[in-house]
Chain A
C-alpha cells in the first residue's frame, strides 16, 4: 500500500507502527522504523568469494560477524557463505547489475527487500532494550561497533548490527515485527 509522503514522493507503508508505549517522555532510547530498503540474501561458495568480490566490485567482508559499508550498500557477513546486503530502495537494479558481472560459478542472489523491516534503537538505554529479548553480551569488548550477527529476540529471529556505541539496527521478518515491538514495550515499561 502506498501513500503520499510530505515531499510528494511515493513511500511504501511497511505496515508496522510503533505504539505510544515506546514513546515515553523519560525513556533512555529512541526507537524508529527504518524506511523502505532493498535487501538481498547473497550466497557464494567460500572458494569463489574473492573472485566474486573482484568481478562484482562488491567488497564482501569475509569474517563472520563483520560488516562493510560503502557508497552503495551495507554488507553483513552472516556466515562464511552468506551475506545480507542492504541498500537504498532505488539501488536494487544496481546491486543486481554488479553481481551479474560474476559469471564463472553459480551463486544465489535473492531479493528479500520486503521480507524484513528494520528498527533503530538509539541512546544510552539502547543496549539494555536489546537485552530485554536477546541474551547476547553487548559489552563493547564482546560486541564492538561494526559487529553484526543473526541471533534471537525472545522467540523471534533477528539480525542485530551495531553501527555506533549507543545505536543498534534490528532486522526482523515483517510478520514478527508486532511481536518484537510488544516485547520491547513491555521492557520499556519495566525500566
Chain B
C-alpha cells in the first residue's frame, strides 16, 4: 500500500485514509458575474492534465480531515512532496531536489 505524508499530521499514512480532490492552485474568480460563459467554463472544467509533475489537492479524510496540496508524478504515481494549503507552489528547483 502506498504511504502518503500528511503535512498536518506530519506522518506517512496509508493511502486508504486519503481522498483525491482535483488539481491544486485553481483560484475561484473574484467576480464571476464579470466572466463570459467561456471563461467560467474554463474555470470550472478545464484542467492542465500533465504527463509528469502534477499539483493536486488531497484530503486526509479518515485522519485529520484537512485538505492539503501534493506534487505527484502522473507517470510513476510517486508523491514528490506534500505541503499545506496556502503555501506557495514549490519551484521546479525544489521539486528536482526532492526527486534526486
- Chain A residues close to B by CB (< 8 Å): 64-65, 78-80, 82, 135-136, 149-152, 157
Interchain CB contact under 8 A, B65 and A150: yes
Chain B residues contacting A80 (CB-CB under 8 Å) are 8, 64, 66
Give Cα A109 to B15, complex, Å. 30
Say whether B17 faces chain A, with CB atoms less than 8 Å apart.
Answer: yes
Contact residues, B28-60 vs A (CB, 8 A): none
Q: Considering only CB atoms, which chain A residue lies closest to B16 in the complex?
A: A152
| Complex contact B16–A64 (CB within 8 A) | no
Q: Can you list 16 A-B pairs with a CB-CB distance of less than 8 A?
A: A64-B64, A78-B65, A79-B64, A79-B65, A80-B64, A80-B66, A82-B64, A82-B65, A135-B1, A135-B16, A136-B13, A149-B63, A150-B62, A150-B64, A151-B17, A152-B62
Question: Chain B: residues with CB nearer than 8 A to chain A?
Answer: 1, 8-11, 13-14, 16-17, 62-66
B63 and A151 form a contact (CB under 8 A): yes
**B14–A135 contact, CB under 8 A?**
yes
**B11 proximity list for chain A (CB < 8 A):** 65
User: Could you say which residues of chain A place their CB within 8 Å of the CB of B16?
Assistant: 135, 152
- Given the known interface contacts A150-B62, A150-B64, A150-B65, the answer about A65 and B14 at a Cβ–Cβ threshold of 8 Å is no
B9 in contact with A65 (CB, 8 Å): yes
Minimum distance in angstroms from B6 CB to a CB of chain A: 9
Chain B residues positioned under 8 Å from A149 (CB to CB): 9, 63
Chain B nearest CB, measured from A137 CB (Å): 9
Q: Which residue of A lies closest to B10 (CB)?
A: A64
Instruction: Decide if B66 touches A79 in the complex (CB within 8 Å).
Output: yes
Residue numbers in B under 8 Å from A136 (CB-CB) = 13-14
Among B8, B9, B66: residue with most chain A CB under 10 A: B9
Closest to A158 in B: B62
Known: A150-B62, A151-B63, A152-B16. 13 other contacts (CB 8 A): A65-B11, A78-B65, A79-B65, A80-B64, A80-B66, A82-B65, A135-B14, A135-B16, A149-B9, A149-B63, A150-B64, A150-B65, A152-B62
